[in-house]
Structure 1
Amino acid sequence: MPPRNPVRRGRFAPSPTGPLHPGSLLAAFGSWLLARHAGGEWWIRVEDLDPPREQPGAIERQLRTLQAFGFESDGPILYQSARDAAYRDALGRLLASGAAFECWCSRADLADNGGLHHACVTGPQAGRTPAVRLRVPQGQVVAFDDAIQGRVTQDVGREVGDVVLRRADGFWAYQLAVVVDDAAQGITDVVRGADLLDSTPRQILLQRALGLPTPDYAHLPLIVDADGRKLSKSMDAAPIDDAAAPLPALRWAWRALGQDPAALEACTDVAGTLAAALAGFSPSRVPSESVAMHNTGVAIAP
């Protein structure tokens, strides 16, 4: 296993499927604060692995929005679309070791098992490209300590099954790419939304299979609408307007992270707001429960 990066390093990894939303701002601000609080670096990664879902110009707008809010990467921005060789190398190692295998099963084939793959129900199919899966044996349980959510335990074998690493359509799966890139970028602290909490055990399994370090994890509260739905899946998920004054949005995100509103009241510009936020930040106050989006003060695009 390669040595763990001695420098604390966090990251924010948007996908270019549209403009940033308030939940994205919370994830960016929270990951930036936790990285800076630890005296570490904060990097940006572009997770552009799913062309059918991407919107033209989205990443340029996302980066412009981040810059308007004072968030700039401490290292070179990594684009996953340029990482094909690294993913192929990792997949080849997993196949060679027997940790991964080719699979011709379709979603319809797995319907009777709730979509979970525990064993192939069909063999090679003429004219069909196989997916590649990580082999997850029955009884495979993973436990880890999340800095915000506490102790997390998942029976990956029973609840998830064999994990897709490369899809049948040829696109790389998120689970493989994120593990390979966290290691390549020396990420020591993964801070992201709690919607990805149940992905972490399968990523830890993949790190072990590849002999890669396991970062520390912290999963921030989700932003939900009045009906309790994740905001990005709600009709209320209006994008952040990067042309508007960012201070009200930063103050809202600060409150959503459980911090003292008074710490930012006197700030009049972005740089001063971020400096005051870093000085007053208390990680122990970050809530584990979802945050309802009411009276956010977040400026949204018309």
Structure 2
Amino acid sequence: MAGGAVTRFAPSPTGLLHLGHAYAALVAERLADPGWFLLRIEDIDRDRCRPEYEAAIHEDLAWLGLSWQQPVMRQTDRMQAYRDALARLAPLAYPCQCRRGDIRAVLSAPQEGALPAGPDGLVYPGTCRARGLSDAGPGDVIRLDVARAFDALGIDRIGFRDESIMPDQDHVLTKDQFLDGIGDVILSRRGMGTSYHLAVVVDDAAQGITLVTRGKDLFDSTFIHVLLQKLLRLPTPAYHHHRLIRDDAGKRLAKRDDARALRHYRQDGATPQDIRRMIGL
């Protein structure tokens, strides 16, 4: 894509930023140039998000030399937008009372070997699919009936193009492949009022994001987001799934890898240029 894109970096304030976050933020800024680079704070997980981590996000990104458009979007300020989107999807949604153990038990019963897993863990077997939203209880999640969603759109496959992974062809899942590999995705989680998938789609549209940059670990989630975009009649941006920063053992960095937090590198005397060299930029 030529310059002039609108990109975003959207961390959750549930821990300190690490080298992988630095790479993701710097890639998003680089691919926006000379467009707009935005910051979004994804803080819907109120049990795990902390104000000190949010403050650290701003501090660490500024130290790296990044700047972004104001104001910064925070998801906890946008709950009504998520409720409105959920209401639009209500005819294709149902409440689910299953816990992870319930799902595992159902999937384990008829088969041996590895259980089917997708972007959100075990692929939901549809146990509660016949329930109506009027049956929803306070402990339920709300799921999208994916088969009905495809039928409502009059399509039998969903796809997108990626700028960095085989950019000359579409990445496609058929309806059956989506159901077998991803399943009925959660639109609203217990105690949150939304889910990552629903919120990110609504927020990207609201911010006018034209290029979504994210790690390759979220590649399969993009099929979910494109489906939701079509159902909500929102634009589909371009996508760029970049490489992941890994530790010495080849494992993807996570927030529990506190030793690789930017804060610690700064305290040890590293410079922003040192960080860029460490992550291959």
Give the shorter-chain TM-score range: 0.7 to 0.9
Does structure 1 residue 181 correspond to structure 2 residue 203? Answer: yes
Aligned to 1:158: 180
Matched, 1:147 2:163: yes
Q: How many matched pairs?
A: 245
Report whether the alignment pairs 1:246 with 2:281.
Answer: no
Q: Distance in 1 between matches of 2:73 and 2:171?
A: 29
Secondary structure at the counterpart of residue 168 of structure 1: coil
Distance 1:199 1:50 in 2: 18
Equivalent residue number for residue 110 of structure 2: none
Deviates more, 1:80-89 or 1:104-113: 104-113
CA distance 1:248–1:200, change in 2 (3 Å): same
CA distance in 2, matches of 1:234, 1:54: 14
Distance of 1:157 and 1:175 partners within structure 2: 16
Higher RCO, Cα 8 Å, sep 6+:
2
- Of residues 102-111 and 236-245 in structure 1, the stretch that sits farther from structure 2 once superposed is 236-245
Alignment partners' CA distance in 1, 2:125 and 2:137 = 24
Q: Offset of 1:131 from its aligned partner?
A: 1.1
State how far apart, in whole Å, the 2-side matches of 1:65 and 1:83 are.
25
Once residues 41 and 96 of structure 2 are traced to their aligned partners in structure 1, the CA distance between those partners, rounded to angstroms, is: 28
Find the partner of 2:77 among 77, 82, 86: 82
What amino acid is the match of 1:161? G
Superimposed CA distance per residue, residues 22-63 of structure 1 (whole angstroms, 9 cap, x where no aligned partner): 000000111100110xx3110000001112222340011110
Find 1:137's aligned residue among 147, 161, 169: 147
Distance (whole Å) between structure 1 residues aligned to residue 89 and residue 7 of structure 2: 26
Aligned to 1:274: none
Pick one of 189, 197, 204 that aligns with 2:219.
197
What letter corresponds to residue 109 of structure 1 in structure 2?
D
Secondary structure of 1:57's counterpart equals helix
The counterpart of 2:48, out of the listed 53, 70, 79, is 53
Name the CA distance, whole Å, in 2 between partners of 1:62 and 1:164: 28
Q: 1:74 to 1:29 in 2, by over 3 A?
A: same
> TM-score of the superposition, structure 1-length normalised?
0.74
In the alignment, does 2:89 pair up with 1:94? yes
Partner deviation per Cα, 1:135-169 (whole Å, 9 max, x = no partner): 21198542221111225334321101001010133
TM-score of the superposed pair, with normalisation by structure 2:
0.79
Q: 1:178 to 1:237 in 2, by over 3 A?
A: farther
Q: 1:106 to 1:205 in 2, by over 3 A?
A: same
- Residues 97-141 of structure 1: CA distance to partner in whole angstroms, max 9, x if unpaired? x22222223323321234322423485889653211122119854
| Structure 2 CA distance for partners of 1:148 and 1:237, relative to 1, 3 Å | farther
User: 2:124 corresponds to which residue?
Assistant: 117
Consecutive unaligned residues of structure 2, counting only runs of 5 or more, are: 108-114, 116-121, 151-155
* Aligned match of 1:3: none
Identity over the aligned pairs, expressed in percent?
Answer: 39
Letter paired with 1:33: R
Q: Is the 8 A contact 1:8 1:41 kept in 2?
A: yes
Aligned letter for 2:81?
Answer: A
Deviation at 1:227, TM superposition (A): 2.1
Q: Deviations over 1:240-296 (max 9, x none)?
A: 13464212112333xx25xxxxxxxxxxxxxxxxxxxxxxxxxxxxxxxxxxxxxxx
| Cα contact 1:231–1:237 (8 A) shared by 2 | no
